[in-house]
Amino acid sequence: MSGHTMSISSVKFSPDGKLLASSAADKLVKLWSPFTGQIVRTLEGHREGLSDIAWSSDSSFLASASDDATIRIWNVDRGVTLKTLEGHSSYVFCVNFNPHSNLLVSGAYDETIIIWDVSRGKALKTLSAHSDPVTAVHFNRDGTMIVSCGMDGLIRIWDTASGQCLKTIVDDDSPVVSHVKFSPNSKYILASTHDDTIRLWDYHTARCLKTYTGHQNSSYCVFSCFSVTGGKWIVSGSEDNRIYIWDLQSREVVQVLDGHRDVVLAVATHPTQNIIASASMEKDLTVRLWFDDGPS
């Protein structure tokens, strides 16, 4: 699926599974039908490239994080900006809604995390979160905690209500942490680091439970995610232009998807069906959908 003219930074399925959103360095958000591959709508308005997008839980709103230091909240049906959130002093790199979608969390190159009131479009809290750019932020299942990571090699857990740091997880060599998210049950944290490794952490004990390797990730912020619609898998992009799928329990690579012609930064899994979306950088510029044919 082609449409973007510069590197694609993020792909996200809507929670109802009806749309796939993509963001890119061309300043645009594109909405696709995952079933026909057609572009449904293009959201224009940011002045600089985009690094991330996130859906509200009811699939009606989309947030986009831009190098223009703003976040826009879009009405998806109408394709218009409802709010422009201003408060970061540098590139906004990551964004996510809480489960109720009344709050938004963002992380930026200014090393801060901001928690926003969505309806008012105002910052509620600004956290001095990391000593380097913040690369990912994610709410847990009930919205009471936020996990963040940064180029400083730290993973931090925050109390949403108070803004207090509850825990800091650091690996021995503290490689850049390029992506982090809570597991669907919120008991664990999946973290991608620039030592070609993805780790599953129990954040209560700060113990690393599983490590997943085989892919390449030492330069870019490559997304990883859980797939739970047909078994339990870990899915990640890779700097060797492929998508890797691991068995969550055994940690073995069960499949490698070939097809992209450049680094695969963005991957996402469909909420109900065995579909993976992926997107790639300059030399490729496609969004691809991978469908599971069932047991081969």
**Is residue 167 within 8 Å of 181, Cβ to Cβ?**
no
- Tell me the whole-structure pTM to 2 decimals: 0.97
Amino acid at 280: S
The mean pLDDT of 8-14, rounded to a whole number, is 98
What is the rounded average pLDDT for all residues in the chain?
97
Band (296; pLDDT cuts 50, 70, 90): very low
Count how many Cα atoms sit within 13 Å of the Cα of residue 40 in the half-sphere of its side chain.
Answer: 16
Nearest to 199 by CA among 158, 170, 159, 238: 170
**Is residue 48 within 8 Å of 27, Cβ to Cβ?**
yes
- Report pLDDT for 280: 97
Amino acid at 255: Q
Residue 96 has pLDDT above 80, yes or no: yes
Band (165; pLDDT cuts 50, 70, 90): very high
- Report pLDDT for 81: 98
Instruction: Spell out the long-range contacts of 64-69 with Cβ–Cβ below 8 A and sequence spacing 24 or more.
Output: 64/23, 64/29, 64/95, 65/23, 65/92, 65/93, 65/94, 65/95, 65/106, 65/108, 66/27, 66/91, 66/92, 67/91, 67/92, 69/108
224-227 and 233-237 strand pairing: antiparallel
Using CA atoms, how far apart are residues 206 and 187, in angstroms rounded to an integer?
12
Q: What is the pLDDT of residues 249-270, one digit of tens each?
A: 999 999 999 999 999 999 999 9
- Report pLDDT for 293: 73
Q: What is the pLDDT of residues 99-144, one digit of tens each?
A: 999 999 999 999 999 999 999 999 999 999 999 999 999 999 999 9
